[in-house]
Structure 1
């Protein structure tokens, strides 16, 4: 078992402005806010464990509200073993299987959105961000997460991606390459985005992804092959995409990232020791 406070010590906060619990603080009027990044992008973390960890961090962040001690946002990047997740209002009509005999585990969560699939080769980013220090607007937050993906595809892979009005996520042509589903509790976000990099897309056939019947799901690997890009090993492509994700995330949200590489971690809430 490895506890976070045995791995590293966080430096003195970069900003000293007191948090206003009712008004967001513009990043342009303060030093870049710190964000601790837990790098698990090479690992398959069971969904239930990562979900419990997010909720534990959110509870810790709640305890800091109003105390001028919430000095850092958090972002976790990882992969999951095959799993289906449903949003709080998801309909089982979008499942192409008997819910009593699913091909993979199913979890109904408190995030927004319909059913989606997570699996190896998909980079999942969970930002746990205090929007009081950014912008207290969930529509802005969703569009900002989309912007991160759009920039990654453009700057690193010269792929033009876009939004589709009325839908959440990122698209390349008719293919949805990234899904987004979030939850905010007292303006602290959790859940996040999932980008298909080298993902096997076959499991998506078991569902109607995000409840959208007339569009396809794509992957970065598939798009590169369509464009006759030179072959890149899956592990290398995941590493390149991960690095680009962090770069664009830090720029879009104006955050100073501090990496925390972890080779082994116990996600159970009872053993979690978080320094913020």
Structure 2
């Protein structure tokens, strides 16, 4: 099997380019975290094959049960990136951050994305469209898809974008292999993780002054229909797949025993996948996960968001 993540990098749009923009409710963080606190301290199973000593701390906003408007999550990322840049300028400690969530249905493009990969009139889009500063072509985010936005200070890890992209791929490959026996792998010349010609996940990043943002998305229980309205990541000869879809294919196979939940429902599947992704993220990047509380997001909402500087390496 193969899993897909697509590399995307671009520049900051200050607005969605589609008329269907919805403003997030005020104090969204209070509403989101009040309902997600019960999963914020999940006991992630410890790996039996790998032990490590975390070198760095990583604050984690585990909102995977919620559908966060894209614009809101984007604003949170930019606020944290600016915060980290300020800390670095002051020669103060700058640790890592991680958002885990779902989005309302939305299409996003990198700054260099071509509208030829949209199979509809951009003025009559079925969902909001955002042109972002990540790289790569158009992709879709929606319910049933787990999105991870790592905001990493690569000075604390390795100042190498190739290494960073391969590490994000490794997180997904390990998570799918260990929990679902999905043999995920990379395809030569393509950023991402694949199963055959099915793309299960997409990776799109931006790096500014060695601070990363944007990240990866994994189709778990996602309705794949909206992908038919685009050419995902500009790749014409590949399909889009999901974890749920692959597990249905495996139901009659005796090659893999999924002892804990042989046939999980959608909620269980999202929960299992989320825990596995966070666990593998912690191990791959050797960080200690510290689950953040409501006050942190409320503080971000009160801070003004400044235009980020152009990408510098």
Alpha-carbon distance, 1:101 to partner: 0.3
Once the two structures are overlaid, the 10-residue window that deviates more, 259-268 or 202-211, is 259-268
Instruction: Quote the residue 2:173 is aligned against.
Output: 150
- Aligned pairs, number: 248
Instruction: Quote the residue 1:35 is aligned against.
Output: 58
Alpha-carbon distance, 1:231 to partner: 2.4
Q: 1:79-114: CA deviations, max 9, x gaps?
A: 000000001110000000000000100000000111
Instruction: Quote the residue 1:128 is aligned against.
Output: 151
Unpaired stretches in structure 1, ≥5 consecutive residues: 8-29
Alpha-carbon distance, 1:233 to partner: 1.0
Q: CA 1:65–1:41 in structure 2 vs 1: closer, same or farther (change >3 Å)?
A: same
The residue matched to 2:147 in structure 1 has which SS? strand
Instruction: Quote the residue 1:246 is aligned against.
Output: 278
User: Distance between the aligned counterparts of 1:264 and 1:43, measured in 2?
Assistant: 17
Alpha-carbon distance, 1:78 to partner: 0.3
Instruction: Quote the residue 2:19 is aligned against.
Output: none
Q: CA 1:262–1:41 in structure 2 vs 1: closer, same or farther (change >3 Å)?
A: farther
User: Distance between the aligned counterparts of 1:272 and 1:143, measured in 2?
Assistant: 33
Unpaired stretches in structure 2, ≥5 consecutive residues: 1-26, 35-52, 253-261, 306-313
Alpha-carbon distance, 1:66 to partner: 4.2
Alpha-carbon distance, 1:272 to partner: 7.7
Q: CA 1:263–1:223 in structure 2 vs 1: closer, same or farther (change >3 Å)?
A: farther
Instruction: Quote the residue 2:207 is aligned against.
Output: 184
The residue correspondences of 1:163-174 to structure 2 (distance < 5 A) are 163-174=186-197
Tell me how large the CA RMSD over aligned residues is: 2.3
8 Å CA contact 1:40–1:261 kept in 2: the answer is: no
User: Distance between the aligned counterparts of 1:58 and 1:250, measured in 2?
Assistant: 20
Alpha-carbon distance, 1:39 to partner: 0.7
8 Å CA contact 1:34–1:71 kept in 2: the answer is: no
Instruction: Quote the residue 1:27 is aligned against.
Output: none
User: Distance between the aligned counterparts of 2:299 and 2:225, measured in 1?
Assistant: 29
The residue correspondences of 1:200-211 to structure 2 (distance < 5 A) are 200-211=223-234
2:95 equivalent to 1:63: no
Instruction: Quote the residue 2:99 is aligned against.
Output: 76
